[in-house]
Amino acid sequence: MQSEGEAVHATQMRLLLAICVLVLGLRGLLEVELSNSLSGISVVVPCYNSSASLSELLDRMVATLESMNADFEVILVNDCSPDNTWGIIEKRCAADPRIRGIDLQFNVGQFQATICGFEHLNNALVVTIDDDLQHAPEDLPTLVSALEQNPDADCVVGSFAVPKQNILRRFGTQFKDIVIEFLYGKPRGLKMSAYRVMRRSTSDAICAHKTIKPLLLATLLKSARKIINVEVPHYSRQHGKSGYSFLRLASILWTATVFGSTIPLRIVGMLGGVSLVVSMILSIYYLVRYFAGGGVPGFATTVLLLLFFGGTTLFALGIIGEYISRVVQEVARTPRYFVRTMTFSERVESDTVLTRD
């Protein structure tokens, strides 16, 4: 009887051990699954003059994230707004610790403000969304689901079948896409917008680019191996007006061209080569005419040549001067942003992140 009891006890111990192993294995799988699922979402919202829309945006965003059963944080970066945007952020952060606020010392623009949020987030999935309610927070599960269903994709970008923009802005956006496609190799047919979901590795790669004036779209193209589109609705702006006028888009394109490409310098070099060839041909032509006894064109030809080569020289000097200016800014290590205050204590050490104690 004693041996039979020992056998039963040994069987029970083996069964208990098997159960423990099974539980530990399931726990490990669950932890891996959670780390790759909706367990961590960071939403970064650059804010500027958004006091009229921010409360509604936060209400809808928090409700959407709670319905997804996800651990989340919403990081609001106030880009030195002249209205009461920061006051609203402070109030919402005090009421909900999942909402975090960063107040910048001076205005730096949407791209730098977004990167500031990237450098202070904690979770595995990163969302960017505008503050003007033209992107619906309720569409976020669609974007996140698309990223989970495409493990080889680094970023999912919301595309709009009918953008709610005026004709001039729509033309500017289309022209910008053409230029970005030419300069940075954007895949044909890929549509870009500020409504995105990306993996943490992608946002970290974007932050690793230390240029003073980053163009987020171009940096994303460099940092992500695969970007896919998911169509979502685009809504009309209910408050205020867009800060991206046609001239503003043109300025962004110029910055993208000079900061991220050497194509203008190559154009100047090609233009100089063409000018050299043309001048040599004209020299030979007029020299042959001179020895053949023909008259050499006088004042008109001289003036035209001077204007052509003078204009070409000034154009080349302007391009070179622009690049020298950019080099000086980079060497001076001007900060991309300066944090005036935050509603949370965590800080990320970075050579481009400055904070006030």
What string of DSSP letters covers 67-110?
HTT--EEEEEEE---SSSHHHHHHHHHHH-TTEEEEEESS---H
Residues 176 and 233 occupy one common structural domain: yes
Integer CA distances (angstroms), 220 to 24, 214, 229, in order = 39, 10, 14
Residues 307 and 230 occupy one common structural domain: no
Domain of 324 in residue numbering reads as: 263-332
| Predicted pLDDT of residue 122 | 92
Residue 354, domain member (yes or no):
no
Residue 344, domain member (yes or no):
no
Integer CA distances (angstroms), 96 to 7, 117, 170, 260, in order = 57, 18, 38, 40
Please tell me whether residue 183 adopts helix, strand or coil conformation: helix
| Predicted pLDDT of residue 348 | 44
| Predicted pLDDT of residue 129 | 96
Residues 256 and 277 occupy one common structural domain: no
Q: Please, what sign has the CA dihedral across residues 139, 145, 150, 153?
A: positive
| Predicted pLDDT of residue 131 | 92
Number of domains in the chain: 3
| Predicted pLDDT of residue 267 | 75
Q: What's the pTM value of the predicted model, to 2 decimals?
A: 0.70
- pLDDT tens, N- to C-terminus, the chain (357 residues): 445 555 655 665 666 666 655 655 544 443 444 344 446 999 999 999 999 999 999 999 999 999 999 899 999 999 999 999 999 999 999 999 999 999 999 999 888 999 999 999 999 999 999 998 999 999 999 999 999 999 999 999 999 876 665 566 666 666 666 766 767 677 888 888 899 999 999 999 999 988 777 778 888 988 998 999 999 998 887 766 665 555 666 666 666 666 666 677 777 777 777 776 777 777 777 667 767 766 555 655 675 667 677 777 777 777 777 777 777 766 767 788 999 999 987 544 444 444 433
Integer CA distances (angstroms), 166 to 174, 267, 276, in order = 12, 33, 45
Residues 249 and 209 occupy one common structural domain: yes
Please tell me whether residue 29 adopts helix, strand or coil conformation: helix
Burial degree of 83 (CB within 10 A; 0-12, 13-18, 19+):
middle
- Cβ contact 143:197 at 8 Å: yes
Q: Please, what sign has the CA dihedral across residues 72, 78, 83, 89?
A: positive
Residue 11, domain member (yes or no):
yes
Select from 16, 18, 7, 92 the least CA-distant residue to 50.
Answer: 92
Residue 338, domain member (yes or no):
no
> Which secondary structure element, helix H or strand E, spans residue 324, and what is its range?
helix 299-332
